[in-house]
């Protein structure tokens, strides 16, 4: 295969800087296809709705955490306990999901709301009825905390 053929077959990608509101957590992600062509997931499950997620799914190898940013994240787990909902412990910004033990390949679900300089009105969205399709297919809002035991269920 010639170098010219290999170059023409290489997928287009885009790299985007992001992080929390206060700047304590920063990262860069590379997406293929780039954001203008990417279908951002707009899910209505209880987590995505309450946490404000609009998700893209880079491989873990396509996410660069600056200054130990991943270790700086606070994590919230519920339901399967196999994915971390990532937040900034300083400003509370919701960053996305670490699917570390969920899929065969390690992926992140990064909220495009955490990317710097992105116009959400210019993106393409794919709607998902997560309220009906994501197990358990029900609204978990307000049903995770056990008031009697004073702990997460």
In this prediction, what percent of the chain has a pLDDT beyond 90?
Answer: 59
Per-residue pLDDT of 61-94, as tens digits, reads 999 999 999 999 999 877 666 688 999 999 999 9
Q: Is the pTM of this model over 0.95?
A: no
43-64 burial by CB neighbour count: b if 16+ within 10 A, else e? bebbbbeebebbbbbbeeebbe
| Residue recorded with tokens 């609204």 | 139
Q: How confident is the model at residue 112 (pLDDT cuts 50, 70, 90)?
A: very high
């Amino acid at each position: 295969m010639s170098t010219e053929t290999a170059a023409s077959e290489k997928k287009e990608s885009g790299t985007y800087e992001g992080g929390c509101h206060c700047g304590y957590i920063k990262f860069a992600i590379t997406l293929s296809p780039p954001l203008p062509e990417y279908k951002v997931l707009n899910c209505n499950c209880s987590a995505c709705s309450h946490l404000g997620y609009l998700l893209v799914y880079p491989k873990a190898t396509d996410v660069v955490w600056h200054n130990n940013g991943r270790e700086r994240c606070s994590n919230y787990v519920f339901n399967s306990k196999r994915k971390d909902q990532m937040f900034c412990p300083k400003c509370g910004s919701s960053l996305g999901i670490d699917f570390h033990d969920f899929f065969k390949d390690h992926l992140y679900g990064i909220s495009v709301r955490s990317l710097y300089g992105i116009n959400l009105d210019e993106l393409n969205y794919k709607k998902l009825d997560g309220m009906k399709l994501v197990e358990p297919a029900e609204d978990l809002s307000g049903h995770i905390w056990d008031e009697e035991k004073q702990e997460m269920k």
